[in-house]
Amino acid sequence: MSKTVKHILSLLGLVVCLQYGYSQDTCERPDAFAFGVQPKSPAPALQRFQVSGYYRFITNVRHLQQGYTDQMKTPMNIFVGDDSQIPQLLLNLGGSVSENTRFYTDFYLWTPMSGGGMVENVKGLNLGVSLTGTHEFEQGTLQVQTGGINWYALSPFTFHSNPGYNRFTVFERNPWDPMTRNAMDRYQTFYQTGALNQDTRWGRQAFQGVIAELNNLPHGLSGVVMVGKTQLNGGTAPLPNQSYGGKIRKGEGARFFSINSFNNKTYSDSLLKSELGFSIHTAEFAWNKKGWKIYGETGMGRYYSKTYNKGWGEAISLKLDVPARISGIPLQLHYFRISPRVINNSSVFWNSAIREGNTAGVQDASQLVLAPFSSSMVPVGQLTNNRTGLELNTETQVGRLRINAGYSVARELERIATQVTYSHMVNNLALSRFWRWSFPAGVGPYANLTKVYRGVFETVDLTDVSSKNVPLNDKYFNTAEVQLKYKTRFVGKDLFINYMGTYASVQSFPSAMAVLTEKAYLRTYYHQVEAYLRISNGFVWANYAGAERVIANYQTKTDIISRRPKNQEGYAVATGFDIEMGKGAGLYLRQRWMNYRDRSFSKDQYRGWETTAEIKIFF
C-alpha cells in the first residue's frame, strides 16, 4: 500500500474518530487506528467479574382466638416483609483486576412496608455498602474490609458470637438459610453432621469500619487490626464512640497461639467528660496430638464508667476433647469462669452483672436489651459473666440413631441479681412476632417480657432478698440437653425423625443433677419432635410438635389474685412443605397452631394460629 493511500486512510480514520466524540489527542495516537480493526487492541478490562445473591419474599398471617390486650386489638394480623431485618434483595459483586488483586462488594434492597415511609429504607443489618479488597504478595496476603456491615470473628472472648453445639430444631427456617441441591439435602445434612450450611453471619458479629488482615506470612504468622463500630455503637447522636482491636497469631488449624484484644470507648455526654467503655485482652491456643485436643482462651477484662470502676477481672475457658478410644465415646470437657467485672457485649458471653454495661455507647433505645440482663438460664454452651462451671458434651451413634447430648453445672460468683430470666423455646419465634421492628422491654400483660432478635425472654423476681434488695443466697444452675436423630424409610421414602429435649433448673444450693422439685426457684422442661418425609427430591413434608412446662416455687413473685407462683404450659403443632420450584429457587410453607397459658397468672395466655409463606431465589 502506497504512502498516499495510507495517508488518506489515516485522515478518514481521524474524521470518523472525531465524529464519535473522541478527543483529537486520542485520535492522533499512532496506534489508535488500523484499517479494518478499530480499535487495534481491546481496552483494559477486569479479568473476572461475578454477580451472585438472593431474593427473599416472606409473608405471615396470624389469627388469635385469645391473647394479650395489645394483640387482641387486631386479632387478625397480615404481614408482608421481613421482621428479621434481612434485605429482600442482596447482590454480591466481585472481580479480579489482576492475577493477584481481587475485590468484593454488595448491594441490597430492603422494603419492610411497615408504613414508616422513606426512613425505613435505611434499616437493616446489611447497612451501607461494604468493599473488600485482597492482594497476594510473594510472602503474605493483605485483605481489607471497609464500609457497610462486615461479619467477622476475632476470638470467642473478644469479638465472636456463640455457635453452640448444633442442638436445635430446623422446622422454622432462618432468613440466612441457603438452598440445597434438593429439598431433602437440608435434613440429610443435619442428620449426618448435626449442622446446617450457614452464611457468613454464623458465629460472627457485625462490624462497621475497617478490618485489615495479613495472612500467610513467613513462620506461620498472621495478624488483624480492626477499627470502627459494633451494633452497640453508633446511632445518630454526634458523640465519639468506637471499638477497636486486633490479634497476632502463629500457626493455624489445630495448633496455634494468639494474642487478642478488643476495646470500646464512648462518651455519654456532649461535653465529652463522661467516658465509659470496656477492654479485654486474651491469649488463645489450640493443641492436638493423637486425638487429644486442648483449646483455651484466658485473659483479663474490665468495664469502666463514671459510676463504676472496680478494676479488672478474669475470663477463662478451657476445653479438652477426649478421643473415643479412651472413653468409649467422644467426650468434651469444658471449664469456664468469667468475672462479673468482665464486660463485652460483642463476645460469646452475655452480660448478667452490670445493667449499664448493656447500654454502653448505645444511641438507639431499641437496642438497650439485645441481651438478657440478670441471672439467665441458658443453653449448654452459652456463657454469661459472673459465673463459673463445667460442661460435658458428647456425640455418638447407635445403629441409625444419632445422639448429641450435653450437661452443664454452674454457679454465680457474686450475689448481684434478684431476677432470673428464661426463654420459651416452643413458640419463641411466633411470640417474638407479637412485637415487630423494635426490641421492647417490659411488654406483655405483666410487663415481664423482653423481645430480642427472633426471640423473647421472660423475667421472674426472687423474694428471698434482704431489706436492701440483695439476694440472700447464691444461685446454682443445671441444664441437660439431648438430641436424638433417626433415619428410616416410610412407604418407600426417606423419613427423618428428630427429638430435642431440654431440662433445666436454678436453685439456692449446689446439685449434681437438675432439681425437678419445688426446691428449685425455677425449673423448665422443653420437648420438641420433628419429622421430615421426602415425597420427591423437590418436595418434603415437614412436621413439628412441641410442649413446654415452666414451674416456679414460692421464693419467687406470686400473682396478686391467685397467690401462686408461675405455672406455665405451652404447646404447638405445625406442618408445612418445602417445594423446589427450580434451580436455586424454593417455596416454603409453614402452618402453626399454638396454645399457651399460665395457670397462676390469668392474663398470661394466648391461643391461635399463624401461616408463613417464603420464597427464596439464589443466583
User: Where are the domains positioned within the chain?
Assistant: 1-42, 44-580+592-618
The count of other CB atoms within 10 Å of the CB of residue 271 is: 6
Residues found in the chain: 619
Grid cell 473488600 — which residue? 132
Cα→Cα distances 345→77, 245, 366, 373, 492, Å: 34, 14, 15, 11, 50
Task: In whole angstroms, give the CA distance from residue 280 to residue 306.
Answer: 19
Task: In whole angstroms, give the CA distance from residue 538 to residue 119.
Answer: 40
Extended strands (E) in 218-363: 221-229, 241-252, 255-267, 275-289, 292-304, 309-322, 331-338, 349-350
The 10s digit of each residue's pLDDT in 87-118 is 778 788 888 877 788 887 877 776 655 555 55
Cα→Cα distances 369→292, 374, 451, Å: 40, 11, 8
β-strand pairing of 101-109 with 130-137? antiparallel
Instruction: Collect the ranges in the chain with pLDDT lower than 70.
Output: 1-47, 83-86, 110-129, 195-202, 233-239, 269-271, 355-373
Q: Classify burial at 25, counting beta carbons within 10 Å of its beta carbon; exposed 0-12, middle 13-18, buried 19 or more.
A: exposed
- Picking from 65, 60, 118, the residue whose alpha carbon sits closest to that of residue 436 is 60
Give the three-state DSSP class for 132: strand
CATH class of the 44-580+592-618 domain in this structure:
mainly beta
Task: In whole angstroms, give the CA distance from residue 242 to residue 463.
Answer: 40
Task: In whole angstroms, give the CA distance from residue 137 to residue 216.
Answer: 10
The count of other CB atoms within 10 Å of the CB of residue 398 is: 8
Task: Specify the pLDDT at position 30.
Answer: 56
Task: Specify the pLDDT at position 126.
Answer: 44
Within 128-269, residue ranges assigned H as helices are 185-193
Grid cell 485483605 — which residue? 143
Residue 103 has φ and ψ, to the nearest 5°, of -140, 155
Task: Specify the pLDDT at position 361.
Answer: 43
